[in-house]
């Protein structure tokens, strides 16, 4: 019996190998797994879900995460910790926070308290997380060594509510001169807004969400920040609200609202019909619990998500570890042809440093009924980055197939009249571990002119498709039994022009 991928005691017993028991104070961390990603963040061993408490300070990106250091299924929730200088290579750090008397250490956020408002000194790192036992409380921990070790605040919990509420996310509101916290009122399907002068005493100011957006499942892992609309000086607030289940393709997904925030209350924009639209950040099945780093340089709003889905995260065919994070993405806002403002998620600029050799290049090619076929690099078992521009002004639809020698295939279909890109992984490789895994996901392409540019990252068990510099994204896990080795473009109902095709191998990390 699994509850949303979280194992029960009975199941843990069934999972474990009872034929032989050995005592050890270390874990085997040598990577022998076929599906462990080559350029995505994964824990060294054990189970991982949501990214937590991310902050940037002195050139280092800190990434904490929901972690079970004792097994590869959900249990013993702790904060694992990794650091990076370039958002590509991650160094594993000791576990930052482990279960205490108040329970599991659930998701939360951290800030650099540069003025020392919480009383732990200037530049202390202050983290708020949810303590989860029979109830859920918000607790505090702080670090005076830059995020390596944390002390628990003696006055924990700092916030208790009568109903389930979790995943506190804070930021400093420059204008009001106070801290703001968003908290997911999980079962009530709303986000609560609190303010505080010192991160310890929190006053409830407002709530947003009841009856709005996708309302299934539970609301979790909120985030709130301001961004400029591309090409204008207009600023809008974005409220991120992950939910599970209830995503557009089943299970977990990230929805967001665009609107205004006056320091206390969030008001969502409405569409032409006067309704608050439901918007999704990623149109694949494996993008969840996405939140942003605090303290990022140059006003960047950089996010990372958990690259899995509670429907099958505990069943995916890996053993030593479970789950990776998505590639880091930088957010911006753009106005689409329908007049609405949407969130774009572009691959972080640092990711171009992943590129190795240019394995295949075509300045121009024309696809018809007969496909244009391009080889994917064989080095490092097929991992690569693919860039290509597609002009489908003369075509009804375009098939972009990623295939291997075992006959497995990821089928992308661009439909210019419907403005969609579908991602079909029903025959992509291993899929029988969960009835919810085989799926076709569909992204709106938000273009107007039957042309799209794609940037596709293929790792050992994932494909992320970024369209038009992140105006649409599909993130999906795949488990091919052999490396993908070919990209074929076929045009239906007329020809399709391909240009600027570049396929890069990925440098060994």
Which listed residue (125, 128, 221, 341) binds ligand FRU by CB under 6 A?
221
Say which residues have a Cβ less than 8 Å from residue 138's Cβ, sequence separation at least 6.
Answer: 108, 128, 129, 130, 131, 157, 158, 159, 160, 165, 166, 168, 183, 202
Round to whole Å and give the CA distance between 243 and 256: 10
Round to whole Å and give the CA distance between 73 and 67: 9
Question: Smallest distance, Å, CB 477 to ligand FRU?
Answer: 16
Strand partners, 415: 420
DSSP assignment of 353-399:
GGEEEEEEEEEEEEE-SSPEEEEPP-GGGG-EEEEEEEE-TT-SEEE
Which listed residue (42, 75, 107, 309) binds ligand FRU by CB under 6 A?
107
Compare residues 39 and 310 and give the one whose CB is closer to ligand FRU.
310
Does residue 289 interact with ligand FRU by CB under 6 A? yes
Q: Are 441 and 474 in contact (CB under 8 A)?
A: yes
Compare residues 77 and 214 and give the one whose CB is closer to ligand FRU.
77
Q: What are the tokens at 150?
A: 């944390």
Which whole-number Å values give the CA distances from 222 to 82, 172, 218, 403, 455, in the listed order?
22, 16, 12, 37, 28
Question: Smallest distance, Å, CB 107 to ligand FRU?
Answer: 3
Q: Of 14, 25, 50, 424, which residue is the catalytic one?
A: 50
Does residue 47 interact with ligand FRU by CB under 6 A? no
Does residue 166 interact with ligand FRU by CB under 6 A? yes
Does residue 130 interact with ligand FRU by CB under 6 A? yes
Round to whole Å and give the CA distance between 244 and 218: 5
Question: Smallest distance, Å, CB 497 to ligand FRU?
Answer: 42
φ, ψ dihedrals at 137, nearest 5°: -125, 160
Does residue 77 interact with ligand FRU by CB under 6 A? yes
Q: What are the tokens at 319?
A: 């053993």
Which listed residue (7, 42, 49, 476) binds ligand FRU by CB under 6 A?
49
Question: Smallest distance, Å, CB 335 to ligand FRU?
Answer: 31
Residue 66's CB is within 10 A of a number of other CB atoms, namely 25
Does residue 66 interact with ligand FRU by CB under 6 A? yes
Which listed residue (167, 282, 459, 464) binds ligand FRU by CB under 6 A?
167
Which listed residue (43, 45, 50, 424) binds ligand FRU by CB under 6 A?
50
φ, ψ dihedrals at 352, nearest 5°: -65, -20
50 catalytic per annotation: yes
Does residue 294 interact with ligand FRU by CB under 6 A? no
Using alpha carbons only, give the angle 256, 262, 263 rounded to the nearest 5 degrees. 95
Does residue 374 interact with ligand FRU by CB under 6 A? no
Question: Smallest distance, Å, CB 318 to ligand FRU?
Answer: 18
Question: Smallest distance, Å, CB 166 to ligand FRU?
Answer: 5
Does residue 220 interact with ligand FRU by CB under 6 A? yes
Does residue 191 interact with ligand FRU by CB under 6 A? no
Compare residues 52 and 397 and give the one whose CB is closer to ligand FRU.
52
Say which residues have a Cβ less than 8 Å from residue 396's Cβ, sequence separation at least 6.
Answer: 415, 416, 417, 492, 493, 494
Question: Smallest distance, Å, CB 170 to ligand FRU?
Answer: 15
Number of residues in contact with ligand FRU, rule: CB under 6 A? 12
DSSP assignment of 32-61:
--TTS-SSS---SSEEEEEEEEEEEETTEE
Catalytic residue positions? 50
Q: Site residues (CB under 6 A) for ligand FRU?
A: 49-50, 66, 77, 106-107, 130, 166-167, 220-221, 289
């Amino acid at each position: 019996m699994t509850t949303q991928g979280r194992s029960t005691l009975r199941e843990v017993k069934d999972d474990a190998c009872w034929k032989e028991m050995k005592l050890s104070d270390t874990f085997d961390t040598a990577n022998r797994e076929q599906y462990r990603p080559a350029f995505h963040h994964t824990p060294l061993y054990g189970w991982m879900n949501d990214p937590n408490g991310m902050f940037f300070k002195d050139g280092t990106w800190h990434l904490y995460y929901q972690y079970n250091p004792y097994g590869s299924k959900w249990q013993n929730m702790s904060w694992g910790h990794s650091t990076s200088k370039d958002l590509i290579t991650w160094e594993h750090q000791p576990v930052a926070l482990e279960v205490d008397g108040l329970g599991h250490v659930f998701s939360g956020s951290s800030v650099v308290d540069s003025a020392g408002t919480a009383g732990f000194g200037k530049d202390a790192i202050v983290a708020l997380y949810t303590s989860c036992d029979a109830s859920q409380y918000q607790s505090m921990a702080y670090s005076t060594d830059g995020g390596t070790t944390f002390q628990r605040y003696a006055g924990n919990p700092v916030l208790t509510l009568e109903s389930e509420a979790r995943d506190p996310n804070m930021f400093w509101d420059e204008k009001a001169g106070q801290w703001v916290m968003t908290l997911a009122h999980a079962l009530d399907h709303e986000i609560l807004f609190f303010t505080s002068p010192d991160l310890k005493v929190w006053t409830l100011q407002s709530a947003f969400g009841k009856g709005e957006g996708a309302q299934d499942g539970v609301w979790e892992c909120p985030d709130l920040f301001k961004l400029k609309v591309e090409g204008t000086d207009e600023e809008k607030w974005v409220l991120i609200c992950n939910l599970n289940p209830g995503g557009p393709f089943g299970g977990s997904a990230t929805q967001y609202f665009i609107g205004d925030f006056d320091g206390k209350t969030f008001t969502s924009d409405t569409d032409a019909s006067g309704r608050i639209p439901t918007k999704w950040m990623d149109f694949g099945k494996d993008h969840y619990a996405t939140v942003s780093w605090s303290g990022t340089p140059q006003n960047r709003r950089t996010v990372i998500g958990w690259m899995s889905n509670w429907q099958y995260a505990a069943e995916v065919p890996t053993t030593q570890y479970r789950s990776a994070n998505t590639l880091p993405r930088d957010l911006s806002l753009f106005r689409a042809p329908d007049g609405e403002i949407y969130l774009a998620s572009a691959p972080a600029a640092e990711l171009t440093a992943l590129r190795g050799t240019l394995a295949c290049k075509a300045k121009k090619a024309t696809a018809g009924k007969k496909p244009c076929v391009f080889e994917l690099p064989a080095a490092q078992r097929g991992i690569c980055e693919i860039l290509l521009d597609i002009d489908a002004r003369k075509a009804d639809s375009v098939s972009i197939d990623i295939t291997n020698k075992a006959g497995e295939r990821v089928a992308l279909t661009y439909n210019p009249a419907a403005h969609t890109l579908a991602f079909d992984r029903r025959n992509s490789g291993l899929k029988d571990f969960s009835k919810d895994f085989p799926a076709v996901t569909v992204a709106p392409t938000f273009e107007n002119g039957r042309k799209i540019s794609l940037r596709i990252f293929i790792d050992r068990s994932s494909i992320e498709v970024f369209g038009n510099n992140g105006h649409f994204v599909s993130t999906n896990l795949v488990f091919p039994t052999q490396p993908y080795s070919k990209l074929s473009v076929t045009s239906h109902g007329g020809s399709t022009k391909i240009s600027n095709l570049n396929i890069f191998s990925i440098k060994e990390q």
